Structure 1
């Protein structure tokens, strides 16, 4: 009887004109209610999610921001991702190409080197929100846009490494790569674009960034092919999404999701308690200290989860700054920070102290890497040796009379980082360093200040995938400049011939044991040179209302929203 009811419902849906059809989610809920398999509470049709950042652009491949990744986890699907078990899996593709299954094949390059040809199949029912199928035409268009340096598309290195793409049919293609990396079958950064909508904007590559429909017409349904599509936006404040009727997968949990941006985390907590938001995004929500305090007061009303992972909190140092050029100054800055005390007092000891950008949870971590302990006397001695003399006012100066004064910028409204800023200012003041504090909205910090390298010290975080080779943050070719269109995230300007060579070798080393030796040397250089000041690996606090289940944090760069169809409302 139940199967007959389901078949009847879907026949009725097909018989309706498309614009009058109920969505799969509506049908599913109606059927479950009729069959006694769901309670009336499951008919909740809207979820309001609070988050602390608004994307600098909605284009999936321009500017790297967690806020945008979180959004597009609802509206798109990458070809491949690392799942909750840190295993590489297909989302937009149907099967990972491997040497074992024959969909990855070694090939000799014209210069005598060795590359690889990998064949992918696009999900057969993948369709843009306007009904246009997702095809290899979109793959070729994305490749064309990514290879054009004028477009401002991030990760230009990926597109340089793709030698060509052969189309097999509308849903299958072979990508030829100029080397065999140990992540040869991962395609998470190849963010497919809708050729039928974006081609016109690409006719003027130099102005593509401002002409893309992701920003000029963000509610166009043809820009999205995930469980949801954007229905409207209030720039800087709110993004409204609705269930995508062309989504090929399992129906999402609610008809509408609203992403509400509240940059001040204290205000975010107040909105959660007042009921104006239902859930705070774990990836972009309350700080650890706030979450711990919140749990003490409201443990009975919410479910709590603290997920350790690859969220690297650090202070980037602009190495073009004459003060920060000195390695002794950089080492003094770190030695003067009592990271263990900050972790204990602000974060309940839940953050893993960082020695480098490689997490203790990662396969390449070397526990023998040098750790800078808290030692103000040693920090002062380093500054003395570097020619910075303590003055009567407690601030150091060099022989020319210049003050040892630096500015530290971070994201505005983040109570956690604002507290850390103040602690750092006080600790550095003890050894004679003057610190000026500044905060900017995340969209400005990540969209302008860091890529244009208009900072001295920047407090923020990078989120990565497992065993992620940090080429984009450490390789000298990844220093963003006007000449390269701002490509890369080496905001510090770090340049080391040995580091460049290590990164190049790491990517193509297929043997895990030999790769580990390269990782060890990388961490030795990092800890010695200190292009940034490593702080800790953040644990993300997830505070979930009792009626929302199925949210499983990954602990890596891929957000929970990529599995939104597995969330449940009860």
Structure 2
């Protein structure tokens, strides 16, 4: 399918992204490219905007204690919680014309808390939300397990259309994740409640979006949007230069260093935007791996990487080194935790202490004769990540560590390998968070994916730390500024002390836009620019 050239018809926009989604269910298997497309087709109740402020999308206004729509309560058993009331926008409809109602709210909660649903944030549904009271077809009160500080934010409560999904779920909840309408009929208009609906899905290639006739908000400018997935970053750039795509999405597009080089050559042809934000490039470690169980080895791996030099040489210093999972741009960042600068001597001492003392052919062995060898995986075709792997592989070899590169297509890596914790040692990818995020899904021990919980949760490292669990639990309801700050500080200290993952960089998103596209505003967090697609305009 050939893209219509921008000059011939500016009522069509062709967007290039770097991965094709592994599935289409909004709450199963978190994947950035899926979230980017959903930004055009669905609307969450709440989201953080480009100013990092919480705003309503599907609701009429945010609940608040001052207005009486948020009430701290004591339950019959003496436990404390908070009740928050939301009203669905009165004009909100699914793409097939059915009104969005509280029936959809109750059904979504029912599915999300089922132990076999496989929801990525099953904790929200199964623990955090105690009950939901319905006032009428548009208004409901959600009772939260604890008196949480961010009671108004229900960004992860992603609404499902009860009239379509109920028959599939009731037939067999255990197989729902693979049989939902999102999987069997992704172009069904009843699945969407945003400015656009998907009208064509070519797996591994592209999706076509057309305006949703039942959208209640501002009329979008484009008659058609084509989102084209090109999983090789060099090929994605070639598609851009050949006019096969009009723009490359910053959130899920080309690596920063590639865009910096492109701007030097094509600065007059495109408009370039750069946005630093809450995108954490890191290496998840499988802590069940006998080598990586040893904290000394984890610290040595980090000491052996010259991240500062990599940032300068690959990213012109625009992608700062990460020393923790919390970005200094975030208000809740708390400096003072341990850091691990490039220090080959320290790496060597740690590996000696861990028993990897015998060097043969430049690679360390232990007393049992075992070779210090680990695998590192990432998304195949991402030129920058593959280059980064090679640089780290060479630096680790200098420390006596044999790192083997084994890469997979994004849909396999995210759709199965990471989700089911099949990676043997290390996986290089990025987490994208909202401002002031509490990292329960990635760091709490209850969020380790297993076959028993339907591979739900995002703690792929298998990190288990009782103090971290307690800190995360308290952070949700300890709201006073100073106690909350102390908890945030301790969370970041534990992360740096225990290193469940190796921090690399805080990414900057690089947008390559046609000069005629206006009003696209990068956000720097997981509420992608696509959530405001209806405001994009042709100059």
8 Å CA contact 1:42–1:569 kept in 2: the answer is no
Q: CA deviation at 1:366?
A: 1.8
Which has the larger share of helix?
1
- 1:321 corresponds in structure 2 to 289
2:528 to 539, 559, 565: 559
Distance in 2, matches of 1:187 and 1:528, equals 31
Distance in 1, matches of 2:27 and 2:8, equals 36
1:138 to 93, 100, 104: 104
2:432 to 458, 463, 471: 463
Q: CA deviation at 1:301?
A: 1.6
Distance in 1, matches of 2:464 and 2:348, equals 27
1:524 to 469, 486, 493: 493
- 1:36 corresponds in structure 2 to none
Q: CA offsets, 1:7-60, max 9 Å, x none?
A: xxxxxxxxxxxxxxxxxxxxxxxxxxxxxxxxx979622111000011111011
1:88 aligns with 2:54: yes
- 1:104 corresponds in structure 2 to 70
1:453 aligns with 2:434: no
8 Å CA contact 1:390–1:432 kept in 2: the answer is no
Distance in 2, matches of 1:59 and 1:468, equals 23
Gaps of 5+ in 2: 1-5
- 1:168 corresponds in structure 2 to 135
8 Å CA contact 2:120–2:458 kept in 1: the answer is no
2:412 to 444, 461, 474: 444
- 1:222 corresponds in structure 2 to 190
- CA RMSD for the aligned pairs? 1.2
Q: CA offsets, 1:291-311, max 9 Å, x none?
A: 111111111121111100000
Distance in 2, matches of 1:101 and 1:446, equals 42
**What is the 5 A alignment of 1:356-435?**
356-435=324-403
**What is the 5 A alignment of 1:171-190?**
171-190=138-157
8 Å CA contact 1:471–1:478 kept in 2: the answer is yes
User: SS at 1:374's partner residue?
Assistant: coil
- 1:197 corresponds in structure 2 to 164
Q: CA offsets, 1:211-240, max 9 Å, x none?
A: 101110111111111000010111111111
* Larger CA Rg, structure 1 vs 2: 1
- 1:501 corresponds in structure 2 to 470
- 2:83 corresponds in structure 1 to 117
Deviates more, 1:381-390 or 1:340-349: 381-390
- 2:267 corresponds in structure 1 to 299
1:568 aligns with 2:534: no
Distance in 2, matches of 1:554 and 1:448, equals 29
8 Å CA contact 2:46–2:54 kept in 1: the answer is yes
Q: CA offsets, 1:117-164, max 9 Å, x none?
A: 111011111111111111111111111111111121221110122111
User: SS at 2:251's partner residue?
Assistant: helix
1:341 to 309, 317, 325: 309
Distance in 1, matches of 2:487 and 2:456, equals 25
1:309 aligns with 2:277: yes
Gaps of 5+ in 1: 1-39
- 1:235 corresponds in structure 2 to 203
- 2:443 corresponds in structure 1 to 474
1:155 to 95, 115, 121: 121
8 Å CA contact 1:409–1:439 kept in 2: the answer is yes
Q: CA deviation at 1:512?
A: 2.3
8 Å CA contact 2:302–2:502 kept in 1: the answer is yes
Q: CA deviation at 1:114?
A: 1.0
8 Å CA contact 1:49–1:258 kept in 2: the answer is yes
1:536 to 496, 505, 508: 505
8 Å CA contact 1:152–1:486 kept in 2: the answer is yes
Distance in 1, matches of 2:331 and 2:482, equals 10
8 Å CA contact 2:305–2:395 kept in 1: the answer is yes
Q: CA deviation at 1:391?
A: 2.3
Distance in 2, matches of 1:69 and 1:370, equals 33
Distance in 2, matches of 1:235 and 1:524, equals 43
2:36 to 64, 67, 70: 70
8 Å CA contact 1:80–1:186 kept in 2: the answer is yes
Q: CA deviation at 1:398?
A: 0.8
Q: CA offsets, 1:457-476, max 9 Å, x none?
A: 00000000011011111111
- 2:252 corresponds in structure 1 to 284
Distance in 1, matches of 2:402 and 2:203, equals 36
8 Å CA contact 1:109–1:178 kept in 2: the answer is no
User: SS at 1:197's partner residue?
Assistant: helix
